Structure 1
Amino acid sequence: MLEQRVSVIGAGAMGEALIRSLLGRDLVSAETLMAADVRRSKLDEIRQRFGIGVTADNREAARFGQVLILAVKPQQIEGVLRQIGPDLTTGHLVISIAAGVRLRFLESHLPEGVPVVRVMPNVACLVGEAASGFSLGRWAGDPEAERARRILGAVGQVFLLPEPLLDAVTGLSGSGPAFLGLVIDALADGGVACGLPRDVAVKLAAQTCLGAARLVLEAGIHPAVLRDMVTSPGGTSAAGLQVLEERALRAALAGAVRAATRRSQELSAGGSEEEPANGRLS
């Protein structure tokens, strides 16, 4: 269990997923967790569902928590930082999941010496299967990295990376669910064309992707080895793979990740309020 009290500022889908996972994994108790949000109805719902403290005052949340998780939209982040800044000390840890908001910006709106961590999660955090990257600010060291890893690990896998690589995380795991949604839909279309009921085809396609991912992650099977495991000479998989290679699926997916990464870089550099990949989760 974490020794520090935690405040989650922003109780939208992402904030609620973190609250649920932190409690469910016994990383915090209800007495050491608080949620802040401007929506009174949402706070009432959170209090009834999880039995934790709630507030509409971000400064109250900052005074309560030693770890502050900022789960608000990028266009709201500056206002939140200005509100909580006067109450923060070097003993706090600020974890931001605001898409595209860089460490330099976060630190410039907080007192000097406050440790900051920037995170790029993805939509699968809603089911505890996120693929997240995080980077450390100037005043965050090994203890803060370990604390962030434990918190973010409650909703999936997490990787410590230099901040410039978070754009690639956005392009791959942030945008990846959209790409895989297209893949699942296309596989299901193929199944329907071959006579399967639509609902069965969708579930078969989704479960097939899930099973393949678990073989890679849990059994440690390399994707190329997985391909060879189910591909016999002249067999069904070989016939299907030939079509995918002829139609350049591999190049298309790799190109999609590169394009999404470039767009993330453009949005971060330009200070756009458009939200890449995970923005609608806040």
Structure 2
Amino acid sequence: MAGSAGLYLAIARGSFRRYSTYRAATVAGAFTNTVFGFILAAGFLALWRTRPHLGGYDTGQAVTYIWVSQALLVAVAAWGGGFQDDLQERFRNGDIAIDLQRPVDFLGWWLAGDLGRAGFQLLTRGAVPLTVGVLACHARLPHSLLTWPVFLLSVLLSLLVSFGLRFLISISSFWLLDSEGLRALMVVVSMFMSGMLLPLTLFPQGLRQLAQALPWAALIQAPCDVFLERGSRVPGELGAQLLWAVVLFAAGRAAQALAVRKVVVQGG
């Protein structure tokens, strides 16, 4: 058991180091997230000045929401990517057959690597825009120190939900051979249903209830509300995140078990 844990930790460390080598891309990405943070914060300020407390957020909370969402955007892979790019390439060249023969859990291997990637992105493309938002736009930090561990738990759950969604999309390649169409569809859904563009509380009632019931709300909306210390909403959102993480991992396990009964490799 300890050996298995050490293996997955080594995979996560290796993924962290791998992404840390792309220094120019990291700097450019952090700069881009920060620029978009300023643009979106300006738009939110204009909107909230005309309609204070829109969606249950005051102006300071609305601005903070933008900077927290920008900090999480890449780590939770709200636009997809991460391990999906590597896994799709392995489907294309047939190396997926080798992956299935490794003496290590297939899902666990990719999860460990994705958590290593996400950890690096949080420390770089996450910390930079949030720090700029606090210093330049008066984004609010949590009032209670106890909020920080709860926020980190919520972020971890959002990473697990994100992985579960992307794993299901990726594993569809066992049947489709190419999951690019589903990935594109997921990006569109994620943009609107995760709270990436607007807090879900701003949606019309029916659409808001639907969005809050779907797993994408766990990616951005839930951790942002935890960071903003939105009291009564926090336990329910944490519970929903945990529920979706369990459901998606169970679905991923089931899909993997079904898929490997008959593996079709492109080109042979």
TM-score tier by shorter-chain length is under 0.3
TM-score for both structures, normalised by structure 2: 0.28
Rg: which structure is higher?
1
TM-score for both structures, normalised by structure 1: 0.27
Flag the structure with higher helix content: 2
